[in-house]
Amino acid sequence: MSSAFIIALVIGGIFALLLVGYLSNQHEKNKLERARRRSTLAERQARLASLSDTLPGQYLNVSLKQGLHELELGFIKEFLKEVPDDKKMRTREEALRERIAEGAAYELANTTVALHSEEQVKEVRFQLESLYAQLRRAHQEGLLPAENARQWLSHLQDQLVNLYLDYFHTAGQNHLQRGLPRQARLVFERAVGLIKRQKNLQPFKERLQGFQALLEKTNRIVMEHDQKASAQASELSESMTGDDEDLWKKKQMYD
């Protein structure tokens, strides 16, 4: 066996080892990428499903809800390409297809939630902002039609405003029921100010009129309270003056 042949065998062996190592590395890399893709798809699907199912009904409409169903279904279909035997995903896929098939006749199952605390407002705000981020990302990735994305993102922005208006309305009414018109007036003033700061007032014209009416009503109540308090103070002052005069007269009699 010549030295040249031995050298060729050594070089060939080294090349074969390098090739095997490269192929093995690529295989592991592909496995990691597929695992990462499955994890990302499952995470986005679960997050979207949670937001879609738990967001209070007053901040959703049928168009947006069906759009969320279709987007979630897209994630599931991609996931099932990697894991076709996942029973949980298959069940969810069937449920989504049934809902989408209803079209405009679909009825929202999300319950309406009354907002009584800032903690509730923060929680719903987080949901709305998270959903906005999900839809914006999907739009950037080409997963949503441009017109639908624009419409739904605009809807969510409006709902962030409505969220605080709902809270202000509830808080103001509670103050009125507790006989605290000044506190109610401050809340209604905040609501009117929030609406007037919006670039597009059209979606909030009706609510603006409602809060302005509440503000006028509250101002009248405050004025009535002030007049009543002033009258009571005047009566008290006159009574005290009368008592002082009686004391003075009695003092004069005994001096």
Cα dihedral: 222, 121, 109, 105 (round 10): 70
- What residue segments make up the domains of the chain, in order of their start? 7-106, 114-232
Tell me the C-alpha distance between 63 and 113, whole Å: 20
Check whether 251 has a pLDDT greater than 70. no
Among candidates 69, 117, 127, which has minimal Cα distance to 94? Answer: 69
Contact 211/188 with Cβ under 8 angstroms? yes
Check whether 18 has a pLDDT greater than 70. no
- What confidence tier does 241 reach under pLDDT thresholds 50, 70, 90? low
pLDDT at residue 238, rounded to an integer = 54
Q: Residue range 57-70: average pLDDT?
A: 96
**Average per-residue pLDDT in the chain?**
87
215-240 per-residue burial string, b: 16 or more CB within 10 A, e: under 16: beebeebeeeeeeeeeeeeeeeeeee
Between the two ends of the chain, the Cα-to-Cα distance in Å is: 149
Three-state secondary structure of 156-169: HHHHHHHHHHHHHH
- What confidence tier does 240 reach under pLDDT thresholds 50, 70, 90? low
Taking only the tens place, the pLDDT of each residue in 100-129 is 999 989 999 999 999 989 999 999 999 999
- What confidence tier does 248 reach under pLDDT thresholds 50, 70, 90? very low
Contact 173/104 with Cβ under 8 angstroms? no
Among candidates 175, 159, 161, 253, which has minimal Cα distance to 214? Answer: 175
Check whether 230 has a pLDDT greater than 70. no
Which is more confident, 30 or 137? 137
pLDDT at residue 124, rounded to an integer = 97
pLDDT at residue 15, rounded to an integer = 67
- The half-sphere exposure of 246 on its side-chain side, counting CA atoms within 13 A, is 6
- The half-sphere exposure of 77 on its side-chain side, counting CA atoms within 13 A, is 9
Q: Residue range 32-38: average pLDDT?
A: 85
Taking only the tens place, the pLDDT of each residue in 166-175 is 999 999 999 9
Check whether 247 has a pLDDT greater than 50. no
Check whether 58 has a pLDDT greater than 80. yes
Contacts of 45 (CB under 8 A, 6+ apart): 72, 75, 76, 79, 89, 92
Contacts of 176 (CB under 8 A, 6+ apart): 184, 218, 221
Instruction: Output the CA–CA distances (angstroms, integers) from residue 17 to 10, 13, 51, 239, in the order listed.
Output: 11, 6, 51, 110
Cα dihedral: 40, 46, 48, 52 (round 10): 180
